[in-house]
Structure 1
């Protein structure tokens, strides 16, 4: 896999490049946003620093995302800009200093995620049908009236059947933050989905981890 590393810190770029090559990746490096946007067309994965000398990395990310959906992780010392990067299309982020083993694991996770169809069309679990394009949920053929956000939570879990979605991942994807108020709202929405569908098994809670879609009635 061809990895493009957009990083102006030459020492960090050299260290990351060494670890990536040892892991079997082909690595190209540039220090500038302009070259990063241009070279991304030939990359299978992009690692993007936000503190670049010629252009703010967030602006480079916006430009890149206008013409490419290449898997991309923001690697930055600017922890305060993490959410901005996710909103602009980054698939994940790492805050410096970077641990190479965590970087490799995050890259592999992003590749697995982006390799799947980004949108499930219709999923049936037991007697529950989730129709994503129609934004419709039925139980035994009966329509269930979910709010917009309740449906978004259910659709996110339905897009990854059998997998656990971390609480933080859901909060970032749907709320854009991991604040206590957003976390409490997620709890309420999950409870409402179970109550409105009458299927307590539909969403399984993994204490301390997150949620997954249920497999059906026990």
Structure 2
């Protein structure tokens, strides 16, 4: 029998730790707990968790510093009461895989964990990513909707491909701009908004109510993977 994926909960509030542990274990995963940054780093080395649920408000160290130390050891999902957009952007820029603001829905948390686990297991992105009736073939640089090819401009494809490489996880505006347009254009968010709007018109059933390309307000975009959207 394969070992259960280990999820490390890094949270100084004992009540929240218990709630998270119950949800994680009910979903069939093994759970570990740390109340401080020091404990988290120790357990990350000993238990080698696949995913870390990280609160930023730790008593001995700011969680933002911890992201860089955990990156590469596990997928990091920030679970924090900090709602400031700058904090979310900073966490993603430092290497967090996702960000969830308290209070949160348990099912949404588990969905983010499943997405992080898929990336942890496969490592590299899948060659073909499906979102609704859209198929994105990253090797052939080909996008199909139903039985028809979709013509995308180079920038439209590049943005979609970056999102498809990490499906179900938010990617920051600056990261997308830096990767697709180059470092000199990190502040040109209008470029990105225009491309995403065009992509929605070409790929979404109802561009005004997108279900594939989701905006994380002030932070970035997420490509929702899976059929039946």
In which range does the TM-score fall when normalised by the shorter chain? 0.5 to 0.7
* Contact 2:44–2:73 under 8 Å retained in 1: no
Contact 1:152-1:174 at 8 Å conserved across structures: no
Moved more, 114-123 or 39-48: 114-123
Task: Provide, for residues 14-57 of structure 1, a one-character-per-residue CA deviation record: whole Å limited to 9, x for no partner.
Answer: 11111111111111101011221232231111100000000000
Q: In structure 2, do the counterparts of structure 1 residues 186 and 9 end up closer, same or farther at CA, with 3 Å as the change threshold?
A: same
In the alignment, does 2:173 pair up with 1:174? no
CA distance in 2, matches of 1:123, 1:3: 35
1:2, distance to aligned residue in structure 2 (A):
0.7
SS in 2 for 1:52: coil
For residues 125-147 of structure 1, give each alpha carbon's deviation from its aligned partner in whole angstroms, at most 9, with x where no partner exists: 38xxxxxxxxxxxx9xxxxx95x
Indicate the structure (1 or 2) with the bigger Cα radius of gyration: 1
Is the CA contact (8 Å cut-off) linking 2:53 and 2:79 kept in structure 1? yes
Deviation at 1:106, TM superposition (A): 1.4
- Correspondence for 1:125 among 130, 142, 152: 142
Report the TM-score when normalising by structure 2: 0.62
Aligned match for 1:104, one of 105, 110, 115: 110
Q: What RMSD over aligned residues (CA atoms) do the two structures have, in Å?
A: 3.6
Is the contact between residue 10 and residue 55 of structure 2 (CA under 8 Å) also seen in structure 1? yes
- Pairs within 5 Å for 1:153-172: 153-156=159-162, 159=165, 169=171, 171=173
Distance (whole Å) between structure 2 residues aligned to residue 100 and residue 59 of structure 1: 26
Residue in structure 2 matching 1:58, options 57, 60, 64: 64
User: TM-score normalised to the size of structure 1?
Assistant: 0.65
Return the alpha-carbon distance in structure 2 between the equivalents of residues 173 and 25 of structure 1. Answer: 31
Gap change, CA 1:174 and 1:21, over 3 Å in 2: same
**Distance (Å, rounded) in 1 between the aligned partners of 2:14 and 2:140:** 48
Which residue pairs with 1:87 in the alignment? 93
Q: Which has the higher contact order (CA 8 A, sep 6+)?
A: 2
Cα deviations by residue, 1:105-138 (Å, 9 ceiling, x for unpaired): 1111222345442486742438xxxxxxxxxxxx
Structure 1 CA distance, aligned partners of 2:59 and 2:163? 40
Distance in 1 between residues matched to 2:164 and 2:28, nearest whole Å? 33
The answer to whether structure 1 residue 39 and structure 2 residue 43 are counterparts is yes
The gaps in structure 2 that reach 5 residues or longer are 128-137, 144-150, 179-187, 214-222, 224-229
CA deviation map 1:131-185 (0-9, x unaligned): xxxxxxxx9xxxxx95xx666415325647xx8x89x757475159xxxx73x42
Query: Could you say if the C-alpha distance between residues 61 and 170 of structure 1 is closer, same or farther in structure 2, counting changes exceeding 3 Å?
Result: closer
The alignment covers a number of residue pairs equal to 176
Q: Indicate conservation of the 8 Å contact 2:51/2:116, yes or no.
A: no
- 2:173 & 2:58 partners in 1: Cα distance? 29
Deviant stretches of 4+, over 3 Å: 113-116, 118-122, 149-152, 157-160, 168-173, 187-192
